[in-house]
């Protein structure tokens, strides 16, 4: 009896994910193939880590060239990719200094450490008392400190005791934010668009008000652009939609080109300058392979083409989604090539919708009950995007034709 990779994963892998029952074996551009030869349109792009699609030729070439030379030194020695990577990413972000790390949540933790240290050493907050204001509905990863200020019960439950020093306010509520500042506030951590929450857009002018309040209270504005940055919303950074420049950018996902983990904290020298040798580090952070790929990602973004494609395809995305409202969908939110879709809970869950989509050759991911996200590679062809949206409409229609769910089945009980 042959045992499949999925069965092996089920027996020997920890069950911290609940993937769709599709075993992907090949990817090209915006398309995936499974072990049986079925093709699927990728409507997730690994939560924006694959902004440039699967196996982008320029990114694969950069990785192969570096694989033939050098992959890892640790930061104990210099290598020839790190300095250029830092200089090029600094220029793209309009900042002075880059601190490369690996995962997105590692970069968030780094930014929090920097903010606290800056608060103590520069702002003069008494040691051990610095606080950070965060937003309700946030998602910044899954480390102990990050889940300590999460309001997602599944991500947080039974991991206490939790890290103190965080104050949460409702996302988009400028008055609540203003009231939350005090003398201990070192920073405000904000997603310019809340991705995991369902692509939640801030009210117009909110990011500008966050920036104003941070200046007024001598606190750092830390923008988590791990999902929203690097072209996803039609701009290099989502903050660009309000012409806001935060003190700190936190980047990840797409920075590694869908090939290697690569994240970064980007700020000016007066912020990142608080770090000294030995006060923070990472063995793989800024390794030659990752930074070689990251440099090619930056080159792609410097052309502006990915950003322009995301902005141009926003109209196609809207045209496919907005007519579904009132026909089984109760809400949609779109920015660039990124959308949140809220299915009527009476029809089913976001998981039900994603399973119906998968049967039609489209892979997407649910989030928070009856919601799902759409974030295809920025390289997707317009006709493929339109086809995928047609499959979504058919999937919603299929769920609407099912017998009504009970309140328990729909999650309304």
Q: Is 253 a catalytic residue?
A: yes
Catalytic residue among 85, 123, 224, 237: 224
| Cis bond before residue 161 (omega within 30° of 0) | yes
Q: Is 95 a catalytic residue?
A: no
Catalytic residue among 253, 284, 352, 365: 253
The CA dihedral of 202, 153, 343, 194, to the nearest 10 degrees, is 20
Catalytic residue among 43, 52, 85, 139: 139
Q: Is 123 a catalytic residue?
A: no
The CA dihedral of 383, 385, 387, 392, to the nearest 10 degrees, is -170
Question: Long-range contacts for 268-277 (Cβ within 8 Å, ≥24 apart)?
Answer: 268/95, 268/96, 268/97, 269/96, 269/97, 270/122, 271/97, 271/114, 271/118, 271/220, 271/247, 272/96, 272/97, 272/99, 272/114, 273/97, 274/114, 274/117, 274/118, 274/121, 274/122, 275/99, 275/114, 275/117
**What phi and psi values does residue 127 have, to the nearest 5 degrees?**
-55, 135
Residue with tokens 């049967």: 359
Contact by Cβ (8 Å): 172, 137: no
The catalytic residue positions are 139, 224, 253
């Amino acid at each position: 009896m042959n045992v499949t990779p999925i069965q092996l994963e089920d027996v020997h892998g920890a069950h911290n994910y609940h993937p769709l029952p599709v075993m992907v074996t090949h990817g090209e551009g915006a398309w995936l193939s499974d072990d049986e030869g079925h093709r699927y349109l990728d409507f997730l792009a690994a939560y924006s880590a694959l902004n440039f699609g699967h196996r982008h030729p320029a990114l694969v070439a950069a990785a192969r060239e570096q694989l033939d030379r050098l992959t890892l030194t640790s930061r104990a020695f210099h290598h020839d990719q790190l300095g250029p990577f830092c200089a090029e990413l600094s220029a793209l972000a309009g900042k002075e200094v880059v601190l490369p790390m690996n995962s997105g949540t590692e970069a968030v933790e780094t930014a929090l450490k920097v903010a606290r240290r800056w608060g103590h050493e520069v702002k003069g907050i008494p040691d051990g008392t610095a606080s950070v204001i965060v937003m309700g509905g946030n998602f910044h990863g899954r480390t102990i400190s990050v889940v300590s200020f999460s309001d997602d019960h599944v991500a947080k439950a039974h991991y206490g005791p939790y890290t103190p020093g965080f104050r949460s306010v409702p996302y988009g509520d400028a008055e609540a934010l203003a009231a939350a500042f005090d003398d201990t506030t070192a920073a405000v951590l904000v997603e310019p668009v809340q991705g995991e929450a369902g692509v939640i857009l801030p009210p117009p002018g909110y990011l500008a008000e966050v920036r104003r309040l941070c200046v007024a209270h001598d606190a750092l504005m830390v923008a988590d652009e791990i999902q929203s940055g690097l072209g996803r919303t039609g701009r290099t950074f989502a903050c660009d939609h309000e012409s806001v420049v935060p003190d700190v950018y936190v980047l990840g996902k797409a920075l590694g080109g869908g090939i290697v983990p690569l994240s970064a904290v980007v700020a000016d020298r007066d912020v990142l300058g608080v770090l000294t040798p030995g006060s923070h580090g990472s063995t793989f952070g800024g390794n030659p392979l990752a930074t070689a790929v990251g440099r090619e990602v930056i080159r792609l973004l410097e052309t502006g083409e990915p950003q322009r494609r995301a902005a141009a395809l926003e109209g196609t995305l809207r045209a496919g989604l907005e007519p579904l409202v009132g026909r089984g969908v109760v809400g949609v939110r779109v920015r660039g090539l990124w959308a949140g879709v809220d299915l009527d809970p009476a029809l089913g869950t976001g998981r039900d919708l994603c399973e119906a989509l998968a049967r039609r050759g489209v892979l997407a991911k649910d989030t928070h009950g009856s919601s799902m996200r759409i974030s295809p590679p920025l390289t997707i062809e317009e006709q493929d995007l339109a086809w995928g949206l047609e499959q979504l409409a058919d999937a919603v229609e299929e769920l609407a034709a099912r017998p009504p769910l009970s309140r328990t089945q729909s999650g309304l009980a």
